[in-house]
Amino acid sequence: MEETKGSTHDLFHGGEPTMLSEDQWSEIRLMAKAGKPIKQIAREFGISKNTVRKVVRREHQKPYIRKINKPGLLDAFMPFLTRRAPEVNFNATILFRELKEQMYTGGYSTVKNAIRPLRSTFQQAQAACIRFETPPGHQARMDWGSAWVTLGTEKIRVKIFVLVLGYSRSIYVEFTMDEKLPTLITCHENAFRWFGGLTEEILYDNPRTIVLHRGTEEARLNPTFHDFCRGDTVPGSAGLIVRKPREK
């Protein structure tokens, strides 16, 4: 978060929440120089007499500078944490030990609190998987989800890649920091390795990274993703099907 300065400022932090503009600041000083009593000035502006005295003593108004939030100890390790957590069944002890090996200097409770919403979201994704009857190896369904993770005093939104096999309901879940196309392709590759293969078709819910110009007559597949599905990375794929939510 960048430092910001404005024309209206909170004069004295930790005390009364007094907000004075530059004009009010100057007017108070002029009234005091003209001999108007501090008590009367305070009454007219609705502020305390101590605040008036502080304005009078200061020749120039001190601007309010917003504090910069320091990055959390776990911030730099979130990509590792979101990828590794499902692989170790969200075991905070294992994750904490592995993070310490990567020079993480925070505490165990921070790690435990960070993976709690990830575990909850993973369980919700599993429970939400409704079986759609297809032959073995024929079809899978991909969706994006998200979850809020608290890091210190800040919350960040983690993205969740979910790929479900239509016949067995086997599910692959990967947590990421974004939904960009390179991330999407990497998640697919990881899922295919985890399943030990791939289905002939995959259903999608019109994600904008895959479908360009959604909802228009010019709607088409992203050429890069289409090439990925037809390339050596996805051998034997019969193609992919893009459906709207109501068609699922």
pLDDT digit string, tens, across residues 145-199: 777 776 666 777 888 888 888 877 778 888 888 888 899 989 988 888 888 888 8
More confident residue, 133 or 36: 36
Average the pLDDT over 71-95 and give the result.
78
Q: Where are the alpha helices (DSSP H) in the chain?
A: 22-33, 38-45, 49-57, 78-84, 92-101, 108-127, 181-195, 223-230
Per the structure, the count of domains in the chain is 2
* Inside any domain, residue 67: no
Residues in the chain, overall count: 248
Q: Domain check: are 33 and 92 in the same one?
A: no
Residue 24 belongs to domain with CATH number: 1.10.10
The verdict on 110 and 226 lying in the same domain is yes
Is there a single domain that holds both residue 106 and residue 189?
yes
Q: Residues 81, 53: one domain?
A: no
Residues 132, 42: one domain? no
User: Quick one: pLDDT band at residue 86, thresholds 50, 70, 90?
Assistant: confident
This prediction's pTM: 0.49
Q: Is residue 84 part of a domain?
A: yes
Side chain identity at 4, as an amino acid letter?
T
Instruction: List Cβ<8 Å contacts ≥24 apart for 53-60.
Output: 54/11, 54/12, 55/11, 55/20, 55/25, 55/28, 55/29, 56/28, 56/29, 56/32
- The pLDDT of residue 10 is 35
For residues 17 and 140, membership in a common domain is answered with no
